[in-house]
Structure 1
């Protein structure tokens, strides 16, 4: 138990001095092996077996399809379609950003891809039309988390493998919270901007012209809109596994981008493939060392000891759930969502089992809470990425971000924690 705390402190230290996440956990795995007196090579085979899982092939497939979507202009067509509904209202472009990030998440499963594809387009556009730069950047940052909550979700793939549960059910555990959060963010966006006088609102079109614009943009974006239905329909009908659905998503994106829209050049294809390979390599490296470290922890019964420690603080279910959420929030603040998913599965699953929490309900709690942590300082990887993409200083968007989080995301964490049906109802339909 003491070794675990020392290793976690060392890993956090290296993360805070900006050592790459994979190397930080690699050092942690080596240190834990040394402190526990076991040969690290004994656990390396387990790590290799875990990262060789067929289900993990979905990660590079969804990442690559997401990067290709941005490169081929599919995200532009989605934006134009959503904009035809609400773009000509005060704060409408903000709602367009939120909704498009949610749709994009139903295709790519990657928050970073959503920031890159949507943020680069929408933030400059919002600023040109009078939106406060900080508000625009914050909105992209918080909306990117919707890509982690609305299936397919890369962190939920990893989490399901780690706890040996159905990937499809883990996907659905965060779907209702994701949709509700999208609605809340749209409402907060309109509320925060209600008294803003700098926003330029385009004149409303006659009803007939509005319908015509919706029809035109809908036709242009139809193939992109069909994509979530094909992916999720294939998974939940039982026709395809999540990995096979990822392959379908990739082939579909290539077909649409190259042959139909003809916007995906060979140069963009090469650059997107390199970027996807870089992101996948970083994720797999982190997962390998986490699985290596987890093997040593399980053999040393560290998760059980940690569960006993938390239960010694209190045996009240509500108190334990609040402690679990606090630990998940701290994890999300320090490490990325994929790493946090594995650590939550390793360390906190025994605690949830001891209080009778359904594993799929726990998946919903993990997904929503880690999403909050990923845009909460000090580390906040998604928040800083949004600032980097939009070229805005932290001082301009940290305040608006915290308002969105405190009034939107944090209440959703409590709702998911204490209303299990939000995470369990859809998975229960799968039987």
Structure 2
């Protein structure tokens, strides 16, 4: 445990000084192997063998499909679709942002993608309608975590792959928590803005006119909304696997982007594909080194030692689960959601299972906690990205962020931890998970 503590301290220091995450875990994995006397000639081939997983093939397919859909003009259609329903309500544009981030998550599966695609559109619109710039940036940053919870979720793919779990069941485990967070965020947004005279409201129109606006927006967004319906319906209908669903998503994206929305041309498509390939390369390099580290940890019985350590602190299951939640939030604060999901699967999944926590229930605990960590200062990668996109200063978006965290996200994290049915209801209903 002493060697692990030193390696983890080294990783934290390297992350804080700004070294790229993939290199940080490379240093950590090689250092851990050398300090424990493990042979790299065994660890490296084993990690390469794990990278050959058929399930892992879904990762680049989903990333590239998400990049292409983001470049095709889908973001505008989703915004118009949601705005057609809630635009006339005071604070409605904030609710549009929240719901659109959730819908975009069902397409791209990445919080950073949601900020780039939705934040760049919605923050200027909210500012123009009188929203404080810091509030608009905080809203986008906090809402971006919904993309990690609404399937297909890239972190859940990685968590399930690393933990040997069903990807489809892991997807289902975070749907209810994601919807609950979205609803609470909409409520907080409404309460905060309902008496604000600075925030402009869309001019009210008659019911027949509103119906025509909704019908038009629904028609234009139908091809975008149909994509997750096809993917998830195919997965849970037993038509294809998550990897095959990713291939279908990519095949679906091309004609929609080129021929229907016409946001794609050869140049934008190549740019999106290159951006997706670069993201995939970075993630695969990081996963490779984490696979090396995970094998060393298993050989050194680190999960069992950590479990014994936590039990030595308290034999109360509630206390131990709270400590695990705290560790997950800290992991989410330090690294991105993909890295965090691997670390959680390697280190904490065996500990949770020793406590009697269902592994699919733990997938939801991991998803909600890592999302919370990604927007919790002082180290909040998604929050800082939203602040950068919104051109806002840290002190401008800190207070609204803490409001959304304390009143919205944190209560759901605790509810998911101690009410397993929030995570297990859909996997049991649709997949017969015990």
Number of the residue aligned with 2:3: 3
Task: Please say if 1:358 is aligned against 2:358.
Answer: yes
Task: Note the C-alpha offset of 1:59.
Answer: 1.3
Task: Note the C-alpha offset of 1:405.
Answer: 0.6
Aligned pairs for 1:107-186 within 5 A: 107-186=107-186
How big is each residue's C-alpha offset from its partner over 1:244-267, in whole Å with a ceiling of 9 and x where there is no partner? Answer: 111111111111010122221111
Aligned pairs for 1:8-47 within 5 A: 8-47=8-47
- Using structure 2 for the length normalisation, give the TM-score: 0.98
SS at match of 1:244: helix
Q: Distance in 2 between matches of 1:123 and 1:129?
A: 10
Number of the residue aligned with 1:60: 60
SS at match of 2:35: helix
Q: Distance in 2 between matches of 1:408 and 1:30?
A: 40
Number of the residue aligned with 2:293: 293
Task: Note the C-alpha offset of 1:111.
Answer: 1.0
Task: Note the C-alpha offset of 1:22.
Answer: 0.4
SS at match of 1:131: coil
Q: Distance in 2 between matches of 1:113 and 1:387?
A: 14
Task: Note the C-alpha offset of 1:187.
Answer: 0.6
Task: Note the C-alpha offset of 1:399.
Answer: 1.5
Contact 2:136–2:390 (CA under 8 A) maintained in structure 1? no
RMSD: 0.9
Task: Note the C-alpha offset of 1:40.
Answer: 2.3
Q: Distance in 1 between matches of 2:369 and 2:305?
A: 23
Task: Please say if 1:94 is aligned against 2:74.
Answer: no
Number of the residue aligned with 2:279: 279
Task: Note the C-alpha offset of 1:194.
Answer: 2.0
Q: Distance in 2 between matches of 1:59 and 1:375?
A: 23
Task: Note the C-alpha offset of 1:195.
Answer: 2.5
Task: Note the C-alpha offset of 1:34.
Answer: 1.4
Q: Distance in 2 between matches of 1:66 and 1:399?
A: 31
Q: Distance in 2 between matches of 1:93 and 1:22?
A: 37
SS at match of 1:89: coil
Question: Structure 2: where are the runs of 5+ without partners?
Answer: none
Q: Distance in 1 between matches of 2:46 and 2:184?
A: 42
How big is each residue's C-alpha offset from its partner over 1:363-403, in whole Å with a ceiling of 9 and x where there is no partner? Answer: 01000000000111222111111112222222211211111
Q: Distance in 1 between matches of 2:57 and 2:135?
A: 37
How big is each residue's C-alpha offset from its partner over 1:49-91, in whole Å with a ceiling of 9 and x where there is no partner? Answer: 1222111111111111211122110111111011010012110
Contact 2:173–2:427 (CA under 8 A) maintained in structure 1? yes
Q: Distance in 2 between matches of 1:103 and 1:138?
A: 18
Task: Note the C-alpha offset of 1:303.
Answer: 1.1
Contact 1:148–1:367 (CA under 8 A) maintained in structure 2? yes
Question: Structure 1: where are the runs of 5+ without partners?
Answer: none
Contact 1:332–1:373 (CA under 8 A) maintained in structure 2? yes
- Using structure 1 for the length normalisation, give the TM-score: 0.98
SS at match of 1:200: coil
Task: Note the C-alpha offset of 1:350.
Answer: 2.0
Number of the residue aligned with 1:243: 243
Task: Note the C-alpha offset of 1:196.
Answer: 1.6
Aligned pairs for 1:352-391 within 5 A: 352-391=352-391
Aligned pairs for 1:71-90 within 5 A: 71-90=71-90
How big is each residue's C-alpha offset from its partner over 1:285-330, in whole Å with a ceiling of 9 and x where there is no partner? Answer: 1111011011011011111111111111111111111111011111
Q: Distance in 1 between matches of 2:261 and 2:346?
A: 44
Contact 1:107–1:231 (CA under 8 A) maintained in structure 2? no
Number of the residue aligned with 1:231: 231
Task: Note the C-alpha offset of 1:112.
Answer: 1.0
Contact 2:134–2:387 (CA under 8 A) maintained in structure 1? no
Contact 1:29–1:289 (CA under 8 A) maintained in structure 2? yes
Task: Note the C-alpha offset of 1:278.
Answer: 1.2
Contact 1:334–1:378 (CA under 8 A) maintained in structure 2? no
Q: Distance in 2 between matches of 1:307 and 1:68?
A: 43
Number of the residue aligned with 2:319: 319
Of residues 26-35 and 63-72 in structure 1, the stretch that sits farther from structure 2 once superposed is 63-72
